[in-house]
Structures are given as C-alpha cells and as structure tokens.
C-alpha cells in the first residue's frame, strides 16, 4: 500500500513540476518577446493559462495529502477522544464521495471540448478541459487512500507533511 502511495505521489509531483516548468518557459518567451529580443508570439499567454490549470489539477491531490488545502483542524483537533479521528474520516469520505459523484458530469464537460479549439494554440479543448477531470480524480484518489489507510489503522488521517517541511 505504501508503495502505491509513494508512486502516485511521485507521479503527481512530477506532473506538477512539469506544468510549472511549462509556465516558466512560456513566461520567459513572453518576456523575451515583449522586450524585443525575439518576435512576440501570441500563444504564450494561452499556454500559461492551460499549464496553470494542470498545475492546480495535479497539485490538488498533493495539497490534500499534505494538509495544504483549507482545513478546520483547529476545531477538529480540540475535540476530545476519538472525535477528531472520526471527523477526519467523515471528511475524507465526503471528499471522496463528491469527487466520484462529479466525475460523470465532468466527463460530459470534457467531451464538449472535442468540438472546440484554443484560439492561438489550436489545441482541442477537451485536452484542456481534462484538467478538471484530472483534479477530481487526483483528489478522489488521495481521499480514497486516506480513507483506506485510516480504516486499516495504517494512518491517523492527519495530513502527511513532506520530510522537507518537518
């Protein structure tokens, strides 16, 4: 189980990093174009927006895992006994439930993009709209992993901070 979590976390980190690298490259090209070093190109702004969507989509699962999403742990952890654990489990179940419930509607949203293209890049918009699906799937997977780990008593449900933040 831990190996699955490690692999999924690594994939999400790599995809988030690649999205960020695309943003950096596009902004550098924008700056070079605006300063007259190279001819200005119109597609960089659109690429930056699309990369930002995927950055958020791949990063949301990681943010859930590390506790960097909005949290009410101040209230939750002040409760007595097993209540904090129960609330963390219920929260993870609700997150998983909403994520799974929205996947069908999101798939419809993604499929609409087949008939659309991005104005300057010419990319089919279903590839871009897929970022919303990636975000839901990522969040659902990490919520499911938390639920499973809590029910098997491998984790307490507390956010998993990366080693570099400890």
pLDDT greater than 70 at residue 164:
no
pLDDT at 41: 87
pLDDT band at 75 (very low <50, low <70, confident <90, very high): confident
Mean pLDDT, the chain, integer: 89
Structure tokens at 13: 């980190």
pLDDT greater than 60 at residue 166:
no
pLDDT band at 162 (very low <50, low <70, confident <90, very high): low
pLDDT at 95: 92
Are the CB atoms for 121 and 44 separated by under 8 Å? no
Mean pLDDT of 151-164: 77
Mean pLDDT of 155-165: 71
Structure tokens at 117: 């293209």
Residue ranges of domains in the chain:
2-158
pLDDT band at 157 (very low <50, low <70, confident <90, very high): confident
pLDDT greater than 80 at residue 149:
yes
Concatenated DSSP letters for 57-94? HHHHHHHHHHT-S---HHHHHTS-TTHHHHHHHHHHHH
pLDDT in tens, 114-145: 999 999 998 999 999 999 999 999 999 999 99
pLDDT greater than 90 at residue 51:
yes
pLDDT greater than 90 at residue 52:
yes
Q: What are phi and psi of 124, to 5 degrees?
A: -60, 135
Mean pLDDT of 88-115: 92
């Amino acid at each position: 189980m831990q190996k699955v979590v490690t692999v999924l976390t690594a994939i999400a980190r790599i995809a988030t990093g690649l999205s960020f690298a695309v943003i950096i490259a596009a902004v550098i090209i924008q700056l070079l174009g605006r300063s007259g070093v190279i001819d200005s190109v119109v597609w960089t702004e659109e690429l930056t927006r699309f990369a930002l969507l995927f950055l958020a989509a791949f990063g949301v699962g990681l943010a859930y895992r590390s506790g960097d999403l909005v949290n009410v742990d101040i209230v939750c952890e002040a409760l007595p006994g097993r209540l904090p654990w129960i609330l963390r489990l219920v929260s993870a179940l609700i997150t998983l439930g909403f994520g799974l419930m929205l996947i069908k509607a999101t798939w419809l949203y993604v499929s609409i993009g087949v008939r659309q293209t991005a104005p300057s890049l010419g990319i089919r918009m279903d590839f871009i709209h897929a970022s919303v699906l990636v975000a839901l799937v990522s969040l659902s997977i990490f919520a499911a992993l938390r639920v499973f780990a809590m029910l098997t008593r491998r984790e307490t449900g507390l956010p998993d901070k990366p080693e570099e933040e400890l």
